[in-house]
């Protein structure tokens, strides 16, 4: 099969699957070529479809895909999406589509779903792992007509991601099911959608492996079809769709392979203004910062300066809050903090610095002296901490350190990212989904 439809493989810095994606499209008879994110945007309109490949765009700084989603080329891509142009995002490409709002948004154009950290727990709730996970998984199309799902068979495809869990606000879950927006689902060998790991490898809502926009022409798919012979069905489906749309004699049902949803997302949800919340009570906070350049911090800073915040200065730190089931004096907490720091579980002292907060007093760590009080304060009116609504990193760290230090009686560990803003008011950024997803994260102080 060969015809004149061109498919752009839209590539951002750090993507690494563009060549495999081009080859896979070509095997299905499509004229595929790499289109760089910084090429003239209007030239993208010369293509009949767009595929965003996997990889680690902008090194996954911040949430995966969030920086790529801010690029100007999305102005044109959103215009094309409204015209019904087929758009597929694979793995990191799926994350980019989600963060751009091309799948679902609320009335104010904030992304109304998230691809967040994998949830790998057994049936008893024990954490089996956090972060990046790769394996081969069975997925099945669920019957909704889109340019990428016009085939009946299940596929065996590889997954390779750290943030692959599709989550929605509770108020949207019924809408997602009614509109059949889940177009690919993880299943076991018998075809059953067991919601537990390992069938569901990341804890996605309803075992979702792929989600489409309400109009059906934009699809976010986490497994990699370009890495498996089975995945050819996805690209063959696109080829058939484009061919049917180019033929005057095509079947009318085939020409309408994308069926618009009966309801628009804007009828369903509007996120209320975000109000920073007090963090859960805790005894010790560790603030960890890179001594060398923090590329995530710089990338956010540069992006916001381009958007008009010319004098903005950012500081980014990892924040770990510890609570204990036993009451300790401040001197005892200083000793505990020193032992946790020297365990290297939270901080690499060769390349990171740490400031410790205990009972509203701040300490630095000095080798041979332990925690020494400092006048520096990190909690200001111009700062906030971003935390996940489901904090697997904190939960896992609590279990691990409780095993290492059973005498410390650690009750809870919470993990977040602490941002400080200079030369701009923090209120300018509280409502910005760049810093925190309205679906999977919140802001505290």
Torsion angle of C-alpha atoms 52, 56, 59, 60, degrees rounded to 10: 80
**Domains, the chain, ordered by start:** 6-267 (3.40.50.880), 284-444 (no CATH)
- Backbone conformation region of residue 240, classed left if phi is above 0, alpha if psi is from -120 to 50, else beta: alpha
163 DSSP assignment = S
- Tokens linked to 172: 């949207």
- Tokens linked to 93: 């490409």
The answer to whether the beta carbons of residues 29 and 2 sit under 8 Å apart is: yes
* The total number of residues written for the chain in this structure: 445
- In order of 5, 32, 197, the CA distances from 51 in angstroms are 13, 9, 29
- In order of 26, 34, 88, 157, 366, the CA distances from 17 in angstroms are 14, 11, 14, 15, 45
Q: What is the pLDDT of residue 185?
A: 98
Find the distance separating the first CA and the last CA of the chain, reported in whole Å.
58
The answer to whether the beta carbons of residues 418 and 156 sit under 8 Å apart is: no
Return per-residue pLDDT of the chain as tens, 445 residues: 445 689 999 999 999 999 999 999 999 999 999 999 999 999 999 999 999 999 999 999 999 999 999 999 999 999 999 999 999 999 999 999 999 999 999 999 999 999 999 999 888 888 888 899 999 999 999 988 999 999 999 999 999 999 999 999 999 999 999 999 999 999 999 999 999 999 999 999 999 999 999 999 999 999 999 999 999 999 999 999 999 987 544 444 444 445 444 345 546 789 999 999 888 899 999 999 999 999 999 999 999 999 999 999 999 999 999 999 999 999 999 999 999 999 999 999 999 999 999 988 999 998 888 899 987 767 678 999 999 999 999 999 999 999 999 999 999 999 999 999 999 999 999 999 999 999 999 999 8
Number of neighbouring beta carbons within 10 Å of residue 73: 22
Q: What is the pLDDT of residue 259?
A: 43
Q: In DSSP terms, which residues pair with 323 in a beta bridge?
A: 412
Name the residues annotated as catalytic: 91, 224, 226
Backbone angles phi, psi at 26, to 5 degrees: -65, -35
Between CA 362 and CA 266 the distance in angstroms is 46
Burial of 285 (0-12, 13-18, 19+ CB in 10 A): buried
Q: What is the pLDDT of residue 261?
A: 42
Q: What is the pLDDT of residue 247?
A: 58
Residue with tokens 């599709």: 166
The answer to whether the beta carbons of residues 233 and 146 sit under 8 Å apart is: no
Q: What is the pLDDT of residue 269?
A: 87
Count of alpha carbons within 13 angstroms of residue 358, beta-carbon side: 21
Between CA 91 and CA 88 the distance in angstroms is 10
């Amino acid at each position: 099969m060969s015809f004149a439809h061109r498919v752009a493989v839209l590539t951002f810095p750090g993507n690494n699957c563009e060549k495999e994606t081009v080859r896979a499209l070509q095997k299905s008879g499509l004229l595929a070529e790499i289109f760089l994110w910084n090429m003239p945007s209007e030239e993208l309109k010369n293509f009949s479809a767009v595929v965003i490949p996997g990889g680690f765009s902008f090194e996954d700084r911040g949430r995966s895909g969030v920086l790529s989603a801010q690029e100007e080329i999305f102005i044109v891509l959103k215009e094309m999406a409204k015209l019904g142009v087929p758009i597929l995002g694979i793995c990191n490409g799926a994350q980019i589509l989600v963060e751009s709002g091309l799948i679902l948004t609320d009335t104010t154009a904030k992304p109304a779903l998230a691809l967040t950290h994998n949830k790998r727990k057994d049936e008893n709730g024990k954490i089996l792992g956090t972060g990046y996970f790769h394996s081969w998984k069975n997925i099945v199309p669920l019957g909704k007509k889109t340019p990428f799902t016009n085939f009946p068979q299940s596929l065996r495809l590889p997954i390779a991601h750290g943030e692959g869990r599709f989550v929605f606000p509770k108020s949207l879950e019924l809408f997602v099911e009614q509109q059949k927006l889940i177009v690919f689902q993880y299943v076991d060998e018998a075809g059953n959608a067991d919601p537990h790991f390992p069938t569901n490898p990341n804890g996605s809502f309803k075992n979702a492996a792929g989600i489409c926009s309400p109009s059906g022409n934009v699809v976010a798919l986490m497994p990699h079809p370009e890495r498996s012979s089975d995945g050819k069905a996805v690209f063959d489906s696109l080829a058939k769709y484009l061919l049917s749309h180019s033929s005057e004699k095509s079947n009318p049902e085939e020409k309408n392979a994308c069926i618009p949803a009966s309801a628009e997302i804007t009828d369903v949800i509007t996120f209320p203004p975000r109000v920073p919340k007090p963090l859960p009570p805790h005894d010790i906070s560790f603030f960890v910062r890179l001594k060398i350049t923090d590329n995530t911090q710089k990338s956010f800073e540069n992006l916001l300066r381009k958007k008009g915040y010319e004098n903005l200065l950012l500081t980014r730190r990892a924040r770990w809050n510890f609570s204990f089931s036993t009451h300790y004096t401040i001197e005892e907490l200083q000793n505990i903090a020193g032992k946790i720091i020297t365990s290297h579980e939270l901080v690499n002292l060769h390349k990171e610095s740490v400031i410790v907060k205990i009972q509203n007093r701040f300490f630095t760590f000095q080798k041979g002296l332990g925690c020494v009080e400092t006048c520096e304060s990190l909690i200001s009116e111009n700062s906030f901490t971003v935390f996940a609504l489901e904090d697997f990193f904190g939960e896992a760290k609590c279990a691990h350190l409780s095993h290492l230090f059973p005498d410390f009686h650690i009750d809870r560990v919470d993990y977040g990212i602490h941002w400080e803003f200079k030369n701009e008011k923090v209120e300018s950024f509280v409502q910005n989904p760049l810093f925190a997803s309205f679906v999977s994260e919140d802001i505290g102080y």
